[in-house]
Amino acid sequence: MKHVFYLHGMIVSVQGRQAVSEEFGPYEYDAIIDALKAEGYEVHAEVRTTQTDFDAFCQKTSDEIDQLIKKGVSPRDITVIGASMGALMAMQISDLNLNPINYVLLGANSDRNEKSFDWHLHGRILGIYEASDQIAGKEYSYWIQRSPDAEAFEQIQINTGLGHGFLYTPHEAWMDPARKWIQKE
């Protein structure tokens, strides 16, 4: 059984699970969760609010990962998928948790993030960035260089033309590589 932790973007924290961006349209939170469940994954997801403490949430998620491993779940069968703010949380978790689990980062990098955080990532990381994303569409070379202890760190550029909105839906442009990353042995 593959376990997937899905960490949503900030707009869901602000507006709730029915969030809608004026620029990118609806954030299809439930459709994303349903698409992951349809793959047969055990999906761990919770809607955070603006009151959610970043560090505490990341530590709690890291502890949940440790508990799964203690129960006998192989690290290879655990994946954290983070979208936008959720991807920053996934990176924090990867910095905290030394287990070789999988990470899929969606729209996570920018000059600001590189200046703001001091992470050294662990595990197997796939960074997906959208060429038209003006918010967090920078490639991940900076983090690859800072993460020599990562078991693997690959990146993929996609070209949907949807800007940061590519991560608002279970779009095949990111779902397909995420699926392959989750299944990779």
What domains can you pick out in the chain, each with its CATH number? Answer: 3-161+174-183 (3.40.50.1820)
70 residue type, one letter: K
Percentage of the chain lying above the pLDDT 90 cut: 99
Percentage above 70 pLDDT, the chain: 99
**What pLDDT does residue 67 have?**
98
At which residue do the structure tokens 């006998």 appear?
72
Whole-number pLDDT of residue 11: 98
Distance CA 78, CA 8 (A): 17
Q: What is the mean pLDDT of the chain?
A: 97
The rounded radius of gyration (Å) of the Cα atoms in the chain is 15
With 80 as the cut, is the pLDDT of residue 185 above it? no
What pLDDT score does 184 carry?
86
Look at residue 50 and tell me whether its pLDDT is greater than 90: yes
Residue 137 carries which DSSP code? B
The average pLDDT across 9-19 equals 97
**26 band by pLDDT with thresholds 50, 70 and 90:** very high
Mean pLDDT along residues 62-85: 98
Can you give the pLDDT at residue 89?
A: 98
In angstroms, the CA 71 to CA 166 distance is 35
- How high is the pLDDT of residue 168? 98
Please report the pLDDT score of residue 101 as a whole number. 98
Q: Where are the beta strands (DSSP E) in the chain?
A: 3-7, 20-21, 25-26, 42-45, 78-83, 102-106, 124-130, 152-158
Contacts of 179 by beta carbon, 8 Å cutoff, 6+ apart: 39
Give the integer Cα–Cα distance in Å for 128 and 81: 11
| 83 DSSP β-pair partners | 106
Per-residue model confidence as pLDDT tens digits over 79-90: 999 999 999 999
Q: In one letter, which amino acid is 168?
A: Y
Of the candidates 89, 100, 76, 14, the residue with the CA atom closest to the CA atom of residue 45: 89
